[in-house]
Amino acid sequence: MADSSTEPKDLSTAILIRVDQSGQGDFKKIQDAIDAVPSNNSDLYYIWVKPGTYREKIVVPVDKPYITLSGTKASNTIITRSEAGEIYDSPTLSILAADFVGRYLTIQNAYEGSGKAVALRVSGDKAAIYSCRILSRQDTVLDDAGRHYFKNCYIEGSVDFICGNAASLFEKCHLHSLAERTGWVTAQHRASPVENTGYTFLGCKITGIGTTLLGRPWGAYSRVIFALSYLSSAIQPEGWNDWAYFTKRLHCKSDRTAFYGEYKCYGPGADRSKRVAWSRGLSKEEATPFLSKGMIGGGGWLRISPIHFKKRPVVATTLQADM
């Protein structure tokens, strides 16, 4: 997490770095632009990615906060890779730094097999993702740790395709299941009742090509809320599932400790008459704490886009010469 002493003084101005495969920018590769940001920087950096397909595995390291990575349109600014493996190793884009903003990008793991293939890993605190398309099949978004905000995003997958232990608000997002039979939208990883983590889906749309469940518990105290969201007929009547294999390993009964709630959802998949008994239809009072950016402390860190830009400082080099 960034030291407060290094926080930018001027949030309206950013240092601009342009990425353009044609050679008309500062760099041709996104990772090279990220590498050019100084460690523990005290300025906002805005990396503007020109349209193109960037076949890269990208990491924003923990010592490089305050980066914005932005395309112009998600449909034509694509970061893609095909890799399966463990969830922490396979991501196409890994965000480890705090105070990251992602905008107007397609982030894809194009692996076609049945293994774990993460498109986006978010492990830094205070990350905001706007109008992005995030595509894979299994564990698409590893929403790992920290406070996060997703808005107007399209997220596609089939198995646990939003997973991890962050505290995240997904607002006006479209979640689409590729599962032909049974899939799971979420696998939230909250492991104890004292952890202030969980996922809220507010004003979202959930669709699918087959049938899917809203979630299953990766951790014993898994917490997920769907509120004011459209649930299509892809949602199975029972809605949620107790992950028996995992809870057996934990020696617990997650159906007694998980918090799975729904509030004023609508559509053919929102009928709660056949829901598992341990899920909850929330009252207004119960739902209210989860219905605003306050659940992620967003009022203190979500920031507007910069309106002024300046050139990247020239890095001085030492000339080796005989005097």
Cα 244 to Cα 159, 212, 220: the distances in Å are: 16, 17, 11
At 179-218, the pLDDT tens digits run 998 899 999 999 999 999 999 999 999 999 999 999 999 9
Q: Does residue 35 carry a catalytic annotation?
A: no
Cα 272 to Cα 224, 235, 238, 278, 279: the distances in Å are: 16, 11, 8, 12, 9
- pTM for the structure as a whole: 0.93
> Which of 5-14, 143-152, 198-207, 218-227 is least confident?
5-14
Mean pLDDT calculated for residue range 260-264: 97
Q: What is the pLDDT of residue 6?
A: 72
The secondary structure element, H or E, covering residue 106 is: strand 106-109
At 126-139, the pLDDT tens digits run 999 999 999 999 99
Q: What is the pLDDT of residue 242?
A: 84
pLDDT band for position 113 (cuts 50, 70, 90): confident
Residue of 43, 99, 139, 255 marked active site: 139
Q: What is the distance between the alpha carbons of residues 47 and 53, in angstroms, rounded to a whole number?
A: 16
Mean pLDDT calculated for residue range 289-294: 93
At 18-51, the pLDDT tens digits run 999 999 999 999 999 999 999 999 899 999 999 9
Residue spans of the domains in the chain: they are 1-109, 146-296
Mean pLDDT calculated for residue range 242-267: 74
> Does the structure show a pLDDT above 80 at 169?
yes
Q: What is the distance between the alpha carbons of residues 150 and 83, in angstroms, rounded to a whole number?
A: 24
Q: What is the fold of 146-296?
A: Pectate Lyase C-like (2.160.20)
At 9-20, the pLDDT tens digits run 888 999 999 999
> Does the structure show a pLDDT above 50 at 2?
no
- From the CB of residue 298, how many other CB atoms can be counted at a distance below 10 Å? 16
Percent of the chain surpassing pLDDT 70: 92
Query: DSSP letters of 9-37?
Result: S-TTEEEEEEE-TTTTSSBSSHHHHHHTS
Q: Angle at Cα 23 formed by Cα 11 and Cα 8, nearest 5°?
A: 10
Q: Which of 61, 113, 122 is nearest to 82 (CA)?
A: 113
Mean pLDDT calculated for residue range 44-65: 98
Cβ atoms 159, 183 nearer than 8 A? yes
Q: What is the pLDDT of residue 251?
A: 46
Q: Does residue 125 carry a catalytic annotation?
A: no
